[in-house]
Amino acid sequence: MAEEKQFLLFEDNLKTLDINNRRYLGSKYRLLSFIHQVVEQNCSTNWDSILDLFAGTGVVASSFSGKKLMTNDILYSNYLCHAAWLGRGEIDEKKLAAFLTEYNQLNVSEENYMSENFGDTYFSSAVCRNIGAIREDIEKKYEEKELTFRERAVLIASLLYGIDRIANTCGHYDAWRSKEDRLSCLELFMPAFQPSFRTLGNQCFNEDANDLVLKVSADLVYIDPPYNSRQYCDTYHLLENVARWEKPKVFGKARKMDRNHLKSRYCTREAAAVFDELIQNIKARYILVSYNNMAENGNARSNAKITDTELLSILSKRGEVQVFSTNYKAFSTGRSWHPENEERLFLANIK
Ligand SMILES: C[S@@+](CC[C@H](N)C(=O)[O-])C[C@H]1O[C@@H](n2cnc3c(N)ncnc32)[C@H](O)[C@@H]1O
């Protein structure tokens, strides 16, 4: 994705980043024009709000400028990034830029939670000491009311994006590459806030999607759940750990914390039943679902949990369904691309 990363300078040599400048499994950044085309050609023009229920990076919600943007994700690390990019609170960009510049000059020698648990794994010990010290300082500044909730979210998001850029992995925290591949320098960038993100009463949530839909409504609900048995909390445990900063015990070679409370039912055999419950409870004019065609194409872990027949029959209970498709490259555990893989959008026009 290197070609998508175009960093600009903010002030004092502080580079800026965009919402899509991170590696994320299943990110729909490359599908945005397809999604917009389907919405523009098939939904009426007078709709006002979008709820991105499984928002991941938040790129889909953020692309609908001029609408009320609502995001949700079960992972707190994603929620903080949404709050940073799309949240409502005011932020003092000059103050944040000064903190980020300070963090970029750190060279910490004392050990801390990060170096003790992750030293010489995904990062060198020196980088871990800096990550731990920065995260601790953000929390201290927040507790001492030097930062608002959204400003804290901006600094943590900048740290998470910075970690992602140098982690010695393919972007998933299951294993690390050889020591020689480790980058030695952590550099934090300033999020480049787009005026189009500052729209009407944005809201960010951090809940199980099935619980949230009982409480909120939107004109367009966009649904992009995990397709297969790979749990996002397993893949991104390290980012979640840094975001939560509860300093839990970590286990095994990959140094994962206990993640039982973060497991998604969409990655299990219950997926179709859970999806049915979700769809029947949604209050919206349109439901747009992303789902690929990997039902039986990949290896066992890549196989989609919900079949096309199930998707169609569940959505049809709510109204007329149209299906749109495009070729899209899918990532598999073998790190190979399946060019024949197709990404589909199912649009239900609610009765
Ligand atoms: C395929 S990704 C979404 C990618 C996103 N559309 C993007 O463009 O970045 C699925 C997301 O659903 C989240 N998730 C999984 N189960 C969930 C649940 N029950 N409720 C809310 N979010 C969930 C995962 O943490 C993950 O970020």
- The pocket around ligand 1, CB under 6 angstroms, is made up of 24, 26-28, 54-57, 59-60, 72-75, 78, 208-209, 224-226, 232, 264, 266
Report in angstroms the alpha-carbon separations of 48 from 7, 71, 137, 217, 345.
32, 14, 39, 11, 21
Hey, whose CA ends up nearest to atom 23 of ligand 1?
74
Would you state the CATH architecture of domain 15-350?
A: 3-Layer(aba) Sandwich (3.40)
The secondary element (H helix, E strand) that includes residue 324 is strand 319-327
Instruction: Report d(CA 322, CA 271) in Å as an integer.
Output: 22
Residue 87 falls in which region: left (phi positive, over 0), alpha (psi -120 to 50) or beta:
beta
Q: Count Cβ atoms below 10 Å from residue 295 Cβ, excluding itself.
A: 19
Q: Which of 238, 183, 149, 194 is nearest to 17 (CA)?
A: 194
Mean pLDDT of each 10-residue bin along the chain, 351 residues long:
53 86 95 96 94 98 94 98 93 94 96 96 94 98 97 98 91 77 82 76 96 98 95 96 98 93 96 98 98 63 85 97 77 45 88 88
Q: In degrees, to the nearest 5, what angle opens at C-alpha 17 toward C-alphas 11 and 23?
A: 155
Q: What is the pTM of this model?
A: 0.92
Sheet of 8-9: strand order equals 8-9, 15-17, 190-191
| CA dist., res. 278 & res. 168, Å (int) | 37
Spatial CB neighbours of 219, under 8 Å, sequence gap ≥ 6: 47, 48, 49, 50, 284, 285, 286
Q: Whose CA is nearest to atom 18 of ligand 1?
A: 208
So what's the pLDDT on residue 295? 52
- Interval between CA 106 and ligand 1 midpoint (Å): 34
Query: How many Å apart are CA 31 and CA 326, to the nearest integer?
Result: 9
Cα–Cα distance measured from residue 195 to residue 239, given in angstroms and rounded to the nearest whole number = 27
Q: For 66, left (φ over 0), alpha (ψ -120 to 50), or beta?
A: left
**Ligand 1 pocket test target in 22, 72, 73, 80 with most atoms within 8 Å of CB:** 73
d(CA 269, CA 25): 21
Give me the pLDDT at residue 258, please: 93
Q: At what angle do helices 76-86 and 237-244 cross, to 10 degrees?
A: 70
Among 264, 288, 291, the mutation site with the greatest number of ligand 1 atoms within 8 A of its Cβ is: 264
Residue 343: its pLDDT value, please?
80
